[in-house]
Amino acid sequence: MAAMSRPSATLIALIALQCASALSFQFTRGVPPFPFGARLSIPRASCHQHSSPAAATTATPTSLNMKEDESKEDKVEDSFMDSLKQRIEEVKDSDTTLPILLMEPVLPRQTLVIQTNMQQLLTLIKYLIKHETPRLGMIGQVATTDGKTPDIGPPGGTDMDDEDKRFIPLFFGVEMEIQGTPDIRPIPSDMEPAPGGSDEVITVALAAKRRFSINRNETIWEEGELQGISRARVKFLNSGDEESKEELGEDMYDPMSLSRAEMMAKVFDEMKWKDTSDKRMVDHWIELARKNEKKPGQIDRLLQSLGEMPPATEPSERAFWIGALINPLPKLDVAQDIRGRLLVSPTAESRIHLTMRAMINSIELMESGHIWF
């Protein structure tokens, strides 16, 4: 029985040789023994359950090769994962950081056409096109009474004299996307160049997309090719998400605020302008604005670019639409410019209230014929 339970040395050597040959076949073909993230499962029992000094001697080189290859595979896997993580961070970073231009407040749905020889803008646009990242952030500035807090009160501003007014940059803006191919050419003889600018002039159309807020603690000044241009980490804002927080009473919001905003938003397309008119407030404003166009067809082109007015159930989006209507680009100058205050208004109710007062004020001024903007 002892002889039966103890296999011969020849049999043991043959089993070990077969295991070594199978592994060697995989390695010599240049194919990894297992994919990344997995571990090779070897039926070691078939090789080692019948052990003897001869078998151990035969299997030793294979075991060493396996350890070396496992070590190499681990290093390759670690390198692959590090590279993947780095790429994910780069994509995340590119989506949440934008070069920032301080020019003027712009609202979603608007398109700003710029013609300038300003070196900073020219350099930035060329850089964005070269790197196929046609996005930048644009912020404006608003008046302030204390040098810190933007005035977001009703249209008409404050009673300060012009020399006493101070302006601060907004930490709210919009993502601007380059439209088409910018036109870059030498400055024409009939154009007055900006002092210290480039000898080239650029004409570029920028379409306003997503709103954002700036993390002021993560703003840096670019070096090298984009020296002098600031880049900031931004948080993109969504009206639906903001209104959901208002409705739930989160972050100290009044839960009834959103309901009031939706009720006020209905006024624009349900309420008639005064008892003697059969027109909605928005339609009446459009009729008056057509009489004050700076170029024929300006209002029709504006309405086409803005699209349909959002429903009253989306009061924030309706407010931004109204703001883009009464403060259009190119400028019409028939209403107080509320775009900056609209961007910093914290709730749907405050946005709707601001646009309603601005539209009423604009209608009254156009009816009187005394437009002073």
Both 229 and 247 in one domain: the answer is: no
Q: Give the tokens for residue 166.
A: 């101070």
Is residue 298, in this structure, part of any structural domain at all?
A: yes
CATH number, domain containing residue 187? 2.30.130.40
Give the up-direction half-sphere exposure of residue 340: CA atoms within 13 A in the CB hemisphere.
Answer: 24
CA distance 176 to 208: 5
Of 336, 339, 341, the residue nearest 373 (C-alpha): 336
Contact 335, 327 (CB under 8 A): yes
Distance of CA 46 to the CA centre of its chain: 59
pLDDT of 294-307, one tens digit each? 999 999 999 999 99
315 assigned to some structural domain? yes
My answer on whether 168 and 220 are in the same domain is yes
Same domain, 105 and 202: yes
Let me know whether 258 and 354 are in one domain.
yes
Which of 194, 215, 237 terminates a domain? The answer is 237
Which strand (E) or helix (H) includes residue 194? Answer: none
What is the average pLDDT across 72-78? Answer: 63
Structure token pair of residue 132: 């196929």
Segment 141-170 mean pLDDT: 61
Domain that holds residue 126: 95-146+162-237
Number of domain units in the chain: 2
Indicate whether 209 and 291 sit together in one domain.
no
pLDDT at 250: 80
Q: Which burial class, exposed, middle or buried, applies to 67 when counting CB atoms under 10 A from its CB (0-12, 13-18, 19+)?
A: exposed
pTM metric for this prediction: 0.71
Determine the Cα angle at 270 with ends 267 and 275, to 5°. 90
In this structure, the answer to whether residues 105 and 233 fall within a common structural domain is yes
276 and 323: one domain?
yes
Does one domain contain both 212 and 257? no
- Among 3-7, 247-251, 274-278, the range with the most confident prediction by mean pLDDT is 247-251
pLDDT band at 129 (very low <50, low <70, confident <90, very high): very high
Q: What angle do CA 263, 267, 268 make, to 5 degrees?
A: 125
- Cβ atoms of 137 and 198 closer than 8 Å: no
Identify whether the C-beta of residue 371 lies closer than 8 Å to the C-beta of residue 365: yes
Spell out the residues 6+ positions from residue 29 whose beta carbon is closer than 8 angstroms to its own.
Answer: none
Tokens of 280: 């909605």
User: Do residue 196 and residue 261 come from a single domain?
Assistant: no
pLDDT tens-digit readout, 12-55: 444 444 444 443 434 333 433 323 333 333 333 333 444 444 44
Cα(314)–Cα(242) distance, rounded to whole angstroms? Answer: 11
The last residue of one of the domains, among 177, 210, 237, is 237
Whether 190 is in a domain gets the answer yes
Indicate the helix (H) or strand (E) that contains 126: helix 119-130
> Do residues 117 and 223 share a domain?
yes
ω into residue 43 within 30 of 0, thus cis?
no
340: in domain: yes
218 and 300 both lie in a single domain: no
> Which residue, of 219, 237, 255, is where some domain finishes?
237
Kindly state whether residues 281 and 363 are assigned to the same domain: yes
Q: Which two tokens stand for residue 236?
A: 């993109």
One-letter amino acid identity for 103?
A: M
Q: What is the band of 217 on the pLDDT scale with cuts at 50, 70, 90?
A: confident
Query: Which H/E stretch holds residue 100?
Result: strand 97-102
Across the range 158-167, mean pLDDT stands at 56
* pLDDT at residue 46, as a whole number: 39
Would 155 be classed as within a structural domain? no
Burial class (CB in 10 A: 0-12, 13-18, 19+), 267: middle
